[in-house]
């Protein structure tokens, strides 16, 4: 699925402000629906506080930029909460008709009942999108001189109903289920106004050459990357410097392939960005980053080789790098480009996978990819990560590039137009788009051994103990042998003297 972007070629990550969001819900709100909605708005920010109505205080409301209130007909309003909400000065999104109770005079809409729709659109029928299954929405009535309709649901091709309505800083969302992926896409795009995210009208593609490791065919990698360089297409390379071959049950390290190191250094000199690839565990990412830095291949970010990951784990990883590109495809993290900050002082770029290229017949691939591009074109803007494994044929790559160029103007986004930062123990990389790389490395020998031979610290200590014991035994044996030789020599000399 492709979703609208939060970055463009005209702006840097550090210029983006991350919303601080408070979500308040009443007892009776479905927890699954609430979770689905939180996943959607995490597209715009991971600074999200979720509170049941009875937990909310004035401090919670005062310290946020955006407030979302989800009402339930199974609860009654608490006077204090009503006061907090009515006194909020920022953008306020209401969900569920019961949330409208405190705003009967301010919000010029009414809700009669619910209805099912099988289509959705941003700006009327011209952008109508059919849904594979019907969804239930509130049947909202908006006066002709009242609020602005941002999103509509369609019943057939003739009848539309407001789904997202705006009146100044007040918004109402007449939908409470968010499992449909097309609906997710349209909800996120339509909430751009609520979260005050400017529109760039660009469709950008970030191309990642993936699965580069010590066993990669360097000649084939050269063929792929020479094509991209000749076409002036910016790209990233995801490198796994310590590669475990499952069938052979053996680790291969980057230093075992000098030709690959040489090629990667050349590509980086030509303007390609290197990503440190690994599992989402900190130790694995530490190892990948440290190994690349030690081979003079400073990475600008991480390529997480993990299909599912929690927001908590992602928060931890974000402390290591300002740029993360991943294979997320079945997780709660929907989207194809986000900027968020967790607890970092600066935001970071996250591009979950939009399209993973598989080994298909070029014609079949072209037809499939063209359909994906049509879907992207329905959005107002997007940033799309394209992950192309290094073992696939050049013909697939050229087909992909030609398809994108035939649909969009100047589509490929150069990640080196942004600033990047990577920090792990013993190594750090800062990339400034005007000044280039600043690299720090002080990786001790024991850490390099741990990295290259996949040892844990305990295993390393045990190996050191074994080596010390072995050396001690060897020295003792040598010393004993020397004593015996001396003793024999002395006995021989004594016998020689006595024989005289």
| 423-438 tens-digit pLDDT | 888 889 999 989 999 9
H-helix or E-strand containing 357? Answer: none
289, 320 contact by CB (below 8 A): yes
- Residue 339, pLDDT > 70, answer no
Q: Which pLDDT score is estimated for 200?
A: 60
Quick count: other Cβ atoms within 10 Å of Cβ 422?
A: 25
Q: Which pLDDT score is estimated for 449?
A: 65
Higher pLDDT, 344 or 219: 219
Place of tokens 């979260």: 195
239, 264 contact by CB (below 8 A): yes
φ and ψ at 127, to 5 degrees? -115, 30
Q: Which pLDDT score is estimated for 493?
A: 72
Structure-token pair, residue 220: 């084939």
Split at pLDDT 50, 70, 90, the class of 387 is confident
Split at pLDDT 50, 70, 90, the class of 223 is very high
Q: Is 450 helix (H, G, I), strand (E, B) or coil?
A: helix
User: CA angle at residue 419 from 290 to 292, to 5 degrees?
Assistant: 15
Nearest to 9 by CA among 139, 291, 200, 207: 200
Decide: residue 150, CB within 10 A, 0-12 exposed, 13-18 middle, 19+ buried: buried
Higher pLDDT, 104 or 212: 212
Average pLDDT over residues 247-253: 84
H-helix or E-strand containing 66? Answer: strand 66-70
Q: Is 350 helix (H, G, I), strand (E, B) or coil?
A: strand
H-helix or E-strand containing 134? Answer: strand 129-141
User: CB-based contacts of 33: which residues, under 8 Å, 6+ apart?
Assistant: 176, 177, 178
Q: Which pLDDT score is estimated for 125?
A: 57
Split at pLDDT 50, 70, 90, the class of 454 is low
Split at pLDDT 50, 70, 90, the class of 130 is confident
Higher pLDDT, 364 or 298: 298
Secondary structure letter of residue 244 according to DSSP: E
- The reply to whether the predicted model has a pTM over 0.75 is no
Q: Which pLDDT score is estimated for 429?
A: 93
117, 154 contact by CB (below 8 A): yes
Higher pLDDT, 282 or 348: 282
- Residue 229, pLDDT > 60, answer yes
Higher pLDDT, 122 or 414: 414
φ and ψ at 459, to 5 degrees? -60, -40
Split at pLDDT 50, 70, 90, the class of 123 is low
- Residue 7, pLDDT > 80, answer no
Q: Which pLDDT score is estimated for 311?
A: 52
Structure-token pair, residue 81: 């909460």
Place of tokens 């979720």: 50
Q: Which pLDDT score is estimated for 341?
A: 28
Split at pLDDT 50, 70, 90, the class of 17 is low
């Amino acid at each position: 699925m492709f979703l609208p972007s939060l970055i463009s070629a005209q702006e840097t990550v550090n210029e983006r402000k991350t919303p601080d969001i408070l979500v308040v819900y009443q007892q009776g709100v479905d927890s699954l629906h609430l979770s689905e909605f939180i996943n959607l708005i995490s597209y715009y920010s991971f600074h999200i506080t979720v509170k049941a109505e009875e937990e909310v205080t004035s401090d919670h409301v005062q310290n946020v930029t955006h407030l979302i209130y989800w009402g339930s007909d199974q609860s009654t309003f608490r006077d204090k909460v009503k006061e907090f909400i009515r006194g909020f000065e920022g953008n306020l999104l209401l969900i569920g008709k019961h949330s409208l109770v405190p705003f009967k005079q301010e919000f010029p809409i009414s809700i009669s009942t619910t209805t099912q729709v099988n289509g959705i659109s941003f700006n009327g029928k011209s952008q109508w999108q059919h849904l594979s299954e019907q969804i239930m929405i509130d049947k909202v009535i908006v006066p002709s001189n009242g609020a602005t309709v941002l999103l509509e649901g369609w019943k057939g091709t003739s009848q539309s109903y407001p789904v997202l309505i705006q009146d100044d800083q007040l918004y109402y969302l007449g939908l409470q289920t968010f499992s449909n992926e097309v609906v997710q896409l349209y909800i996120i795009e339509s909430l751009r106004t609520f979260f005050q995210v400017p529109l760039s009208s660009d469709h950008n593609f970030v191309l990642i050459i993936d699965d580069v490791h010590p066993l990669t065919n360097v000649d084939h990698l050269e063929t792929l990357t020479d094509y991209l360089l000749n076409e002036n297409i910016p790209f990233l390379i995801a490198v796994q410097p310590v590669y475990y071959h499952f069938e052979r049950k053996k680790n291969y390290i980057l230093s075992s392939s000098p030709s690959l190191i040489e090629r990667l250094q050349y590509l980086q000199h030509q303007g390609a960005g290197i990503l440190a690839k690994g599992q989402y565990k900190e130790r694995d990412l530490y190892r990948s980053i440290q190994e690349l830095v030690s081979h003079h291949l400073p990475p600008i970010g991480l390529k997480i080789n993990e299909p599912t990951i929690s927001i908590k784990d992602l928060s931890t990883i974000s402390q290591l790098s300002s740029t993360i590109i991943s294979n997320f495809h079945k997780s709660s993290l929907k989207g194809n480009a986000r900027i968020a900050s967790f607890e970092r002082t600066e935001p970071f770029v996250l591009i979950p996978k939009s399209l993973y290229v598989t080994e298909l017949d070029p014609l079949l691939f072209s037809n499939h990819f063209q359909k994906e591009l049509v879907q992207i074109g329905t959005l107002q803007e997007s940033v799309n990560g394209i992950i192309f494994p290094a073992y696939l044929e050049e013909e697939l790559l050229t087909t992909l590039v030609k398809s994108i160029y035939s649909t969009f103007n100047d589509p490929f986004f150069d990640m080196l137009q942004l600033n990047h930062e990577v920090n792990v123990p013993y190594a750090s990389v800062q990339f400034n788009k005007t000044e280039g790389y600043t690299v720090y490395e002080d990786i001790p020998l024991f850490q390099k051994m741990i990295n290259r031979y996949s040892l844990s610290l305990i295993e390393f200590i045990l190996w050191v103990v074994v080596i010390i014991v072995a050396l001690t035994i060897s020295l003792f044996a040598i010393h004993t042998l020397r004593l015996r030789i001396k003793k024999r020599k002395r006995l021989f000399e004594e016998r020689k003297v006595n024989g005289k």
